[in-house]
Structure 1
Amino acid sequence: MLKRPPAPSVTATPNRTSGVCRAYGLPGGPSTRASRVLLFLALTVPALAENASRPLQLTEELPTLKCLGVRWLIAGDANRNARVEVAYRKVAEAQWRKALDLFRVDPQGMRSAVRPPSGHFLFAGSVFGLDEDTDYEVRLSLKDPDGGDTEKVVKMRTWAEPKLPLHSLAIQVTPDGLAAALAKARPGDVLHLAKGVYKGTFRPPSGEPGKPVCLVGEDGAVLDGDGKANCISAPGSHDIILENLAFRNATWALNFNASARITVRRCLITDCEYGFVATGNAPAIERILIADCTMKGPSTWPRTKGIENARGIQIAGQGNVVCYNRISGYADAIDTFSSYPCSAIDFYGNEISECTDDGIEMDYSEHNTRCFENRLTNCFQGISIQPIHGGPVYVFRNAMLNLGLETFKMHNAPSGGLFFHNTSVKAGIPLVLWTGQPVTNCVYRNNLFIGTAANYAYETTAPMRDCDFDFDGFGGDWKSFLKWNSARYATVEEARDKCPVYKHAVRVDTATLFASGLKPPTDEKAQLPPTANDLRLKEGSAAIDVGAPLPNINDGFAGKAPDLGAYELGAPLPHYGPRPIPR
């Protein structure tokens, strides 16, 4: 079994010509020759440039249930050798835990409206795996050899999942009385919808913080849009909970554009082209939770109509969570959207299948959006970042089976994507990126890309700028290993020796890789059941103990080093899709 210990952590100046990103001090990095180039560039910075760092505004992102995020504006650091180390702990604990360093955002990757002025840099990053409704301290340590070292400790509290209000007025509603009941509802009221069909388009009134207006259905309570645009049309609303309701027969099931503090939980959506939408006037969009729902769209697998319009969820804003849903039969299951801001949004625990475009889109994300622990089966493309505006956008521990083309769609000049511990299994080329537009400031670590027969294990036609790809595993029957910035590398060994990336790439045997015995599909048109998507590793495979350590991402790995892919050897499958109802 191949075992390669991780290289030491390094930090250096970005080297655009080599294609190596130094936004993080992660294991791996440029060759000795590239490091000499970096040193030369650092020594030739004009004398008048300000190399010392001056910390400026620190911004706390809106917390989510499991994650916290920050952004820190820094002046100076012209030679780009500063870094911001991160540690965190619960307020009641003594021991600090290390997290990933803050990510240096490429200013040119940001939208011009929010780009820092010349001579300033933005650092941003997240802490993951937290308990909800809990106080934490996050310690940020700015370190610059040229001066300006600063430490800040910020206290932040994770979000609590919204609950039905206690001691509320319970209002019993039948199908012929919903419109009248909504007209009379006040903040804190809970409307209990009896079994039956409620036809038409309805607008719940807004509640107040801590006093939402709630619509809770008995089993069999169905809101039927009667073929109109919406079942629920409530743009500009706030403080509403929808629970245990079915929606059908409309273009949009739920329209909550420009809305805040909306919870949709344990609902069923069928026969609608769009499931849930909250875009437009994104500064108003925050604290939206979509959890434990089932959405069945109109699209079928395999795709026969090209790119369709149908979308399960479209959302922008900040502080939003989409988790533990079962979504199938759309062009895209879950999308971020081009309304701004688009930050601090989490997608996790979702079971996704039969998507004729992208399983998940993180498109138009700005900072601290996170896509993790989702399972995708039968999707034309996996996860999209076309584009993202600076990042970091985190994509980690996602399992993808039977993709039609690109595992990660990185078109339209994205900047700031971080891809850790993902597993993709598909027919054909294991990893491909076909676009002529540049990809900037992106990082890959500890991923597994599995395919069948192809010209390359990984072919990218994009100009790769300031990108740092390493410690990934590849499986399949390819003719050449890698095409990177127009250069070709015939074997893994040649790439390790000569390429500016993939110094620790690994080749794995697809026949003995997975404990389930799964082999790559030979025809993506086959519709595989999501239960076939079990990509846990088999003991003894070459993907074990060859990854790079990533604090707060793969803490507590079992062997000498982390394993590649979505699952550490011996770990149970995460829960995907709606969770059991608590009893």
Structure 2
Amino acid sequence: MTGLHHWWRRLLALGALANALALWAGENASTPGEIQVEPATLHCLAVRWPVRGDDNANAVISVQFRRAGEGAWRQGFPLFRTIRSATREQRNQWSFKGIPADRLPGGWIFAGSVVDLVPETEYEVKLSLKDPDGGDAEKVLKMSTIGEPREPAGMRVRHVVPEDSSGGPPDAIRGLPAAVAAMEPGDLFLLHKGRYEIKGALELKKSGVAGKPIIFRGAGDGEAVIDGGGDDTTKGRLVSANGVKHIWLEGLTLQGRQYAIVAHEGSNWVIRRCKFQKMEKGFTAHNGGYSVSRGHFISDCVFIGPTTWPRTKGIEAPCATYMSGSGHVVAYNRMQNLGDGTHGTGHGNWSACDIHNNDVTVCTDDGFEADYGETNIRVFRNRIVNVAHGITAQPAQGGPLYFYRNFIYNATYSPFKLHNDTCGVLIFHNTCLRNGPCFIIQPGGETVTDVVTRNNLFLGTGGAALPTTGRMINCDFDNDGFGGFTGPFAQWNGKTYKTADDAKAAGIIYGQHGAIILDPKAIFASGLVPPAEPKTQFMGQELDYRLKDGGPAVDRGVVLPNFSDGFKGKAPDLGALELGEAMPYFGPRPKP
């Protein structure tokens, strides 16, 4: 071989190596895609940002935000890196009708929310992608929160009385079927007191439009009852409205049929200050998926089902809402004697929805199901009492799902249910008291992936603090307070950790700051402790979970940007409330 040939072969080899290194660097570098702005709610904004490359997963997207026109930026919580590809087990459990099962081939979807914002306000949100391997990018978005729905000006007012009524205005429409047959966008029907009997189903086939909804409202002269004549076991629908949009129901009572309202593939329903009783399902609206069903607003309602405490049957079906889609708000409702407060569905999935300030008591299955949530489902500042499970993600489909600042008392199984190969749940600043082990995660041998906990209070009366049976994968548990357990601290991936110090030393769970061990009797100013008898039906309004000044939960948290803002001491406090903070308002608000 001549020297020329030798050097030529060396150059070819070096060139191939250079190309390989360039290809490797290119895969590790980030290539950001187009940001998707998710539907806004009253208090939250959200995005998804696809990023290709970053094979070594070292890119970070930080978040800052401010009111439009203000100078100083506030720090937000970083965007969450969702799972790159669903596992075989996850594919068997998950139901993808929005984000595909393989997420983003050759890349990642980052997603996240800015929370605790002011309604009807414009914000600037700055997203900064940093990758040591290249591909840095910065984007500033203008985004606005929504306001509570307000009646548009210029609505045509039409009076309605029951068919058998002898009173009412002389021009009143007699009976709801006649009103529905005549309805047009921009109509406001005032239903005068009485019983509106519905035989069969009340079929709504016409929609309102943006700016011109169709409103059915109690006239204010007494209770207006839409009655199917039966109870929760009476088959069928009371109101049937598949594909119908921009309908408002206000100040009405709905009863007497298994399904009170069914509005599959509908959007922009407003259900406010209504009472649901003698029913199994309150508002059912799925099959629509991310882009079809948007913007339902359900507030200040009362949902009363047929279940009793303690639970004496298997899983019971009654629930207040049963929805898929995006941009929904479920707030300030009272939900009682049900199976679930909100029922999750794989029929369409859901994202970018808020469930907050609700008052739940006696749900024999789950307080709130965020099941089949994809991105940016937020469950916060709810009071959940007398339930089997407080809040569930079975499964979360990549996330993030945010569960924060909830009060959960007497969850007989666990405060948070993480089953069905769940993935992508952030659990921050919750106060949870139950009888037995503090926080149980026992989905058999299923996977539990990408779950993060911080600054929670998990208080029990015996057993292990954190018994798990699932295969815990890439989970980050740290800086939570535990108290009242009598057994080992944790069971995790088949190994038992006798003490919190053992867990920290192993570096697997609670490895950075560690778990904080507390005396439950010393935490709350009221002397509140975990329930001694889970069969007791506790009254939520009697449970005061404000912290005790100088107690062991004060100043023990870590800073979580946007989730622990406004703390007053040296550090955030553990649990749902800061010291000196009033308890939130739960359930229907007083009429303005």
TM over 0.5: yes
Match of 1:186 among 167, 184, 187: 184
User: What's the CA shift for 1:57?
Assistant: 2.1
Q: Deviations over 1:441-467 (max 9, x none)?
A: 11001111010021x111001111000
| Aligned 8 A contact 2:522 2:552 in 1 | no
CA distance in 2, matches of 1:46, 1:502: 38
| Aligned match of 1:24 | none
Give the 5 Å matches for 1:136-151: 136-151=123-138
Q: Does the Cα contact within 8 Å between 2:405 and 2:428 map onto a contact in 1? A: yes
2:252 aligned partner = 245
1:444 maps to 2:444: no
Counterpart in the other structure of 1:263: 270
Counterpart residue number, 2:16: none
Shift in Å, 1:516: 1.3
2:8 match: none
Instruction: Show CA shifts across 1:58-93 (max 9, x none).
Output: 101011111110000111111111100111112121
Give the Å deviation of 1:213: 0.4
Pair 1:562–1:336, CA change in 2 (3 A): same
The separation in 2 between residues aligned to 1:516 and 1:168, in whole angstroms, is 50
Output the CA distance in 1 between the equivalents of 2:504 and 2:100. Answer: 40
User: Quick one: which of 54, 58, 78 aligns to 2:55?
Assistant: 78
Q: What's the counterpart of residue 16 of structure 1?
A: none
* Distance in structure 1 (CA, Å) of the matches to 2:436 and 2:421: 25
Q: Which runs of 5+ in 1 are unaligned?
A: 1-43
SS of equivalent to 2:413? coil
The structure that is strand-richer by fraction is: 1
Measured after TM superposition, the shift of residue 45 of structure 1 is 13
The SS at the match of 2:541 is: helix
The residue number in structure 2 matching 1:378 is 386
Counterpart in the other structure of 2:111: 124
Residue 457 (structure 2) pairs with residue 480 (structure 1): no
1:496 corresponds, among 504, 511, 533, to: 504
* TM superposition outliers: structure 1 runs of 4+ over 6 Å: none
Aligned partners of 1:137, 1:524: CA distance in 2, in Å? 47
Question: What do the CA deviations read for 1:448-497 (whole angstroms, capped 9, x no partner)?
Answer: 1010021x111001111000000000010312111111111111222222
Candidates 163, 166, 174, aligned match of 2:161: 174
Partner of 1:519: 529
Partner residue of 1:558 out of 548, 555, 568: 568
SS at match of 1:179: helix
User: How do residues 130-529 of structure 1 correspond to structure 2 at under 5 angstroms?
Assistant: 130-176=117-163, 177=174, 178-200=176-198, 201-204=201-204, 205-217=206-218, 218=220, 219-227=222-230, 229-282=236-289, 283-435=291-443, 436-454=445-463, 456-503=464-511, 504-529=514-539
Contact 2:458 2:481 in 1 (8 A): yes
Tell me the CA shift for residue 369 of structure 1: 0.7
Q: Secondary structure in 2 aligned to 1:208?
A: coil
Cα-Cα RMSD? 1.6
**CA distance in 2 between partners of 1:194 and 1:231 (Å):** 19
Deviation at 1:117, TM superposition (A): 4.2
Instruction: Provide the rounded CA distance (Å) in 1 between the counterparts of 2:127 and 2:197.
Output: 54
Q: Is the 8 A contact 1:354 1:379 kept in 2?
A: yes
Higher alpha-carbon deviation: 87-96 or 445-454: 87-96
Structure 1 pair 308/49, CA: closer, same or farther in 2 (3 Å)? Answer: same
User: What SS class does the counterpart of residue 268 from structure 2 fall into?
Assistant: strand
- Provide the secondary structure at the position in 1 that maps to 2:554: coil
**Counterpart of 1:417 in structure 2: which amino acid?**
V
Q: Which one has a bigger Cα radius of gyration?
A: 2
Instruction: Give distance in 2, aligned partners of 1:453 and 1:223.
Output: 48
Aligned to 2:170: none
SS of residue matched to 1:287:
coil
Sequence identity, in percent?
Answer: 43
Aligned twin of 2:83: 106
Q: Which blocks of at least 5 consecutive residues in structure 2 are unaligned?
A: 1-20, 87-93, 164-173
Distance in 2 (alpha carbons) for counterparts of 1:499 and 1:329: 43
Report Cα offsets for 1:173-228 as digits up to 9, x if no partner: 10111221221121111000000000103234311111000000133100001235
Change (3 A) 1:45 1:569: farther
Instruction: Indicate the structure whose relative CO is greater, using CA pairs within 8 Å and at least 6 residues apart.
Output: 1
**Contact 2:83–2:103 (CA<8 Å) still a contact in 1?**
no
Any conservation in 2 of the 1:377–1:533 contact (CA below 8 Å)?
no
